[in-house]
Amino acid sequence: MRKITRWMRAAARKARADTGMTTSEYAVGTIAACAFAAVLYKVVTSPPVMAQLQSLLKDALDAKF
Protein backbone atom coordinates (compact mmCIF):
# COMPACT_ATOMS: atom_id res chain seq x y z
CA MET A 1 0.00 0.00 0.00
CA ARG A 2 2.84 2.39 0.82
CA LYS A 3 4.49 1.77 -2.56
CA ILE A 4 1.30 2.74 -4.37
CA THR A 5 0.90 5.86 -2.24
CA ARG A 6 4.51 6.92 -2.86
CA TRP A 7 4.12 6.26 -6.58
CA MET A 8 0.91 8.32 -6.73
CA ARG A 9 2.52 11.23 -4.84
CA ALA A 10 5.53 11.18 -7.16
CA ALA A 11 3.27 11.14 -10.21
CA ALA A 12 1.24 14.06 -8.85
CA ARG A 13 4.43 16.07 -8.17
CA LYS A 14 5.68 15.40 -11.67
CA ALA A 15 2.35 16.40 -13.22
CA ARG A 16 2.31 19.69 -11.29
CA ALA A 17 5.90 20.50 -12.26
CA ASP A 18 5.13 20.42 -16.00
CA THR A 19 2.22 22.79 -16.47
CA GLY A 20 1.63 24.88 -19.56
CA MET A 21 3.80 25.49 -22.58
CA THR A 22 7.14 27.21 -22.56
CA THR A 23 7.94 30.25 -24.67
CA SER A 24 9.77 28.17 -27.26
CA GLU A 25 6.74 25.90 -27.66
CA TYR A 26 4.54 28.95 -28.19
CA ALA A 27 7.00 30.24 -30.79
CA VAL A 28 7.05 26.97 -32.70
CA GLY A 29 3.26 26.73 -32.56
CA THR A 30 2.89 30.30 -33.81
CA ILE A 31 5.31 29.73 -36.69
CA ALA A 32 3.50 26.51 -37.65
CA ALA A 33 0.12 28.29 -37.58
CA CYS A 34 1.47 31.12 -39.75
CA ALA A 35 2.97 28.67 -42.24
CA PHE A 36 -0.34 26.79 -42.46
CA ALA A 37 -2.21 30.06 -42.97
CA ALA A 38 0.18 31.07 -45.76
CA VAL A 39 -0.25 27.75 -47.57
CA LEU A 40 -4.03 27.92 -47.17
CA TYR A 41 -4.07 31.49 -48.51
CA LYS A 42 -2.04 30.45 -51.57
CA VAL A 43 -4.37 27.53 -52.26
CA VAL A 44 -7.57 29.53 -51.85
CA THR A 45 -6.34 32.42 -54.00
CA SER A 46 -5.09 30.18 -56.82
CA PRO A 47 -6.99 30.64 -60.11
CA PRO A 48 -8.59 27.14 -60.24
CA VAL A 49 -9.91 27.36 -56.69
CA MET A 50 -11.12 30.94 -57.18
CA ALA A 51 -13.01 29.86 -60.31
CA GLN A 52 -14.66 26.99 -58.43
CA LEU A 53 -15.62 29.25 -55.53
CA GLN A 54 -17.08 31.87 -57.87
CA SER A 55 -19.03 29.18 -59.71
CA LEU A 56 -20.34 27.81 -56.43
CA LEU A 57 -21.44 31.25 -55.24
CA LYS A 58 -23.03 32.07 -58.60
CA ASP A 59 -25.00 28.81 -58.56
CA ALA A 60 -26.09 29.43 -54.96
CA LEU A 61 -27.25 32.98 -55.71
CA ASP A 62 -29.05 31.97 -58.90
CA ALA A 63 -30.97 29.14 -57.21
CA LYS A 64 -34.69 29.12 -57.98
CA PHE A 65 -37.08 28.33 -55.17
| pLDDT greater than 70 at residue 36 | yes
Cα 19 to its chain centre, rounded Å, is 20
Question: Residue 53 pLDDT more than 80?
Answer: yes
Judged against a pLDDT cut of 60, whether residue 18 lies above it is answered with no
pLDDT for position 21: 65
Instruction: State the pLDDT at residue 65.
Output: 74
5 has pLDDT over 70: yes
User: Which residues in 36-57 are b (16+ Cβ under 10 Å) and which e?
Assistant: eeeeeeeeeeeeeeeeeeeeee
The percentage of residues in the chain with a pLDDT greater than 70, rounded to a whole number, is 89
CB 43 within 8 A of CB 49: yes
How large is the average pLDDT for residues 15-32?
Answer: 79
